[in-house]
Structure 1
């Protein structure tokens, strides 16, 4: 019933927008999630799009009607309204674009594109003309708030290009090739842009930061098979996402310290779950720290170039910034540092990777 309530706002707004378009002389109609329908895998408040049956909507579009579709919602296999949680409207838009084989999906938000870092921290941060799906996924997962990971993941799966634009642009029509936002594209399309000279491939695409994580350390965990599973199984069952994980060499033989991060909002719940499992896990103490930040360097150029991590570590050390933990992927390096040093770290790394002077490149 909660999903029915929270989805009502989008339904009302869709009808109002359709009425407004009609008053302007446009042919328009609203399509609610159950009318298309947007079929979802049932998980209320966190539903995932499974399929969209769009023949009726396509026929409506072919008649010249504007389709006004509420985002964020769908219908389960048993006919119940479901909602998709945070970022659900972006995911809905990408799913509809894929269903009708659209050339691209334009998403209007409160920023006008993807920047090399937060321009509120680094005045020289600049907007990227294009980034790849992989880069956007990594940036979204480590703190960049332009798009949610689910919408980017779906776009990559379905091959839908996403254009990120500002909701506060003027009313003048802009040709597609002159859109002022950032295009999210495949690796192949990015390579084509580079070959044409429209883009210049950078080693690093962006620097992201996230202050919404907390660190948990369990001391003197028995160093034996199954011990780590006992730690993370209850967290997974409670839908608590664990990010960076480090297993340290213990002070005593047969014991180890395990450190990991969780969302700050889940810290108290995670701590309580672990305390309940203390006897099963066998740890000595729980040490928590919510005054941390995760700083991440992202770029597909890392796939073919060595030294990205060492540049990061050297630049931070030269400014006296201590690294508490490290994690990597094929195109990302993340570190944990004290929260108070977040802005300094972002500025230092933006300069270290030459992004201050890279305006207009990608």
Structure 2
């Protein structure tokens, strides 16, 4: 008998009809001889409704009370789903994060899981019950309700699967798996049967919205097999797991293409080229809790350097103001910025054993007249920054150029 953890997002439980549909799926999984733990999000739109209520009282409410408020959304869902399961003759019991108990640190609105008590859950599973657990939330050492941040239900599901040593963690969402790229941009995009943790982590960090990054990190750390499935149609989905060594040489060069429109670029020119200059430029940025992504530094013949880096578009104005103050202190020549850029990334463990990926990427973009502004690489990823208006053209050109629409629909990794 297998132990399966299933997670259903807000869209999957957005109406009573959809909650009934989830109850049918859970019942079938249990009837097949499995033990089942279900993690659910709040009904779609509910968290935003609660946030609007809070803003109606105070534009800057305390984070502790915000956690108390928004955690109620999942409590509604676990009760309704448990009712739907019980009605079907499937014994179920609902639990909030605090009841489980999912112990977190005290960082309200963005807490991290420290430990999970499993004794109570195992007793219920041994008694044949389905556990319905509220995602996104936990409790700290002081008994305060905490939340894990938006999308935290994925992390809850993976953490429970790790703690219970589940055979598989199934993430049900509004898509039927992980695709070679966004099907809304490339109609020929293909669902992948398998993808490695490494590749999925890169895809998630580079713009793919299928899974929350923290959940993939957690799954990789504790070796929890993840499967992405559709709540609305049957299918095998995409399995995310570790790569087996004997499969490594058979991997396609590229597994997928991720992209991100939320990028902004900042450049400071004519900075005196001396030790510590990079810290003087980026130190104030980091101290302001602004994450820097890509960095390029060029040294000129006149002993000055030009320094370019990217940040999230929401941080652009703040970063620009900091950089202008730094430029004045350093005696730099100029500061400039560009919010109309985008990042495209090729991802694939096959890069380790295939040469010439970067040159082929650059050739594909050059044929479309797309200029590359910045380049960043890792062992299984190549990212480029381009003008935002060429984003979709670039993604389609690369998807076709690397033959992703026609690749074998077998395993890309095991």
Q: TM (normalized to structure 1)? A: 0.91
Three-state SS of the structure 1 residue aligned to 2:97 is: coil
Range that drifts further, 283-292 or 238-247: 283-292
Three-state SS of the structure 1 residue aligned to 2:405 is: coil
- TM-superposed CA distance for 1:16, in Å, is 2.1
Q: Which residue in the other structure is 2:322 paired with?
A: 273
Three-state SS of the structure 2 residue aligned to 1:212 is: strand
Q: Which residue in the other structure is 2:302 paired with?
A: 252
Partners of 2:380 and 2:335 in 1: CA distance: 32
- TM-superposed CA distance for 1:249, in Å, is 2.1
Q: 1:60 aligns with which of 114, 120, 124?
A: 124
Q: Which residue in the other structure is 2:95 paired with?
A: 31
Partners of 1:141 and 1:279 in 2: CA distance: 34
Three-state SS of the structure 2 residue aligned to 1:215 is: strand
Matches within 5 A, 1:1-362: 1-169=65-233, 179-188=235-244, 191=245, 194=247, 201-250=251-300, 252-253=302-303, 255-361=304-410, 362=412
Partners of 2:332 and 2:143 in 1: CA distance: 46
Question: Are the equivalent residues in 1 in contact too, given 2:202–2:347 (CA < 8 A)?
Answer: yes
Three-state SS of the structure 1 residue aligned to 2:404 is: coil
Three-state SS of the structure 2 residue aligned to 1:39 is: strand
Partners of 1:78 and 1:234 in 2: CA distance: 34
Q: TM (normalized to structure 2)? A: 0.80
Partners of 2:134 and 2:335 in 1: CA distance: 45
What is the aligned residue count? Answer: 347
The change in CA–CA distance for 1:80 and 1:234 in structure 2 (over 3 A counts) is: farther
Partners of 1:322 and 1:134 in 2: CA distance: 29
Partners of 1:118 and 1:5 in 2: CA distance: 34
In the TM superposition, what whole-angstrom CA distance separates every residue of 1:327-347 from its partner, at most 9, and x where no partner exists? 001100000001111111111
Three-state SS of the structure 2 residue aligned to 1:207 is: strand
Partners of 1:78 and 1:252 in 2: CA distance: 59
Specify every segment of 5 or more residues in structure 2 that has no aligned partner in the other structure, as ranges.
1-64
Question: Are the equivalent residues in 2 in contact too, given 1:230–1:280 (CA < 8 A)?
Answer: no
- TM-superposed CA distance for 1:55, in Å, is 0.8
In the TM superposition, what whole-angstrom CA distance separates every residue of 1:87-135 from its partner, at most 9, and x where no partner exists? 2110110000011100110001121111111112222211110000000
Question: Are the equivalent residues in 2 in contact too, given 1:208–1:297 (CA < 8 A)?
Answer: yes
- TM-superposed CA distance for 1:251, in Å, is 6.2
Specify every segment of 5 or more residues in structure 1 that has no aligned partner in the other structure, as ranges.
171-178
- TM-superposed CA distance for 1:276, in Å, is 4.4
- TM-superposed CA distance for 1:11, in Å, is 1.7
- TM-superposed CA distance for 1:277, in Å, is 4.1
